[in-house]
Chains A and B, each alone.
Chain A
């Protein structure tokens, strides 16, 4: 089945130790999104790619970076995780960039714990 896959499902890292979260998709969608979701809160958009075009949200900390080496894969790099970065990180994809026209398909998320 075509889907959005996130690895790992659970990630434990130490304070200040770089960590990379992975997302892959078999939907061949042009747009990939990264959201941060803290406990009992709404998903918060960090950035998204339309093909290779990177769009960063104004309030996304510099500590968060992303790479999209090809259509199928997108990575979230947290350069120096702090305790406040512990959250669920959701990857989503859509065929086109207009959210009014295209459904966003979410992966199962990676839960990040920072010790």
Chain B
């Protein structure tokens, strides 16, 4: 099955600086990589995703990059703001299970320091 590793587990960034979170995956057949943001007391929410036919996708201050050769993908948040403080999870599908379920990384707790 798919194995997803996520680093770092915690990250503190000065407001206005950039934050980068990296995930690696094991199954080269995986072709879809979402990122979820989980705020305190809430369920995870999809913030951005990328498919394996592109190397980068941007949405305002967030971007995701994908390196299929190295089997890793990263979340980039620029000009960080206090509301970016949350736990972020990467995920990848299980191709061997018909892409019917996701496996999640272990999460990164991002703290933005005002």
Contacts and interface: CB of A to CB of B under 8 A. Distances in A.
A42 B45 contact: no
Interface stretch (B12-20, B58-66, B74-82, B95-103): B95-103
B41 A41 contact: no
Chain B interface category by residue count: 20 to 34
A44 B104 CA distance: 8
A53 B27 CA distance: 27
B48 to A, nearest CB: 11
Chain A at the B interface: SS class: loop
Interface of B: 31-32, 34, 36, 41-46, 49, 51, 89, 93, 98-107, 109
12 contacts: A40-B107, A40-B109, A41-B107, A42-B104, A42-B106, A43-B104, A91-B43, A97-B98, A99-B93, A100-B99, A107-B43, A108-B43
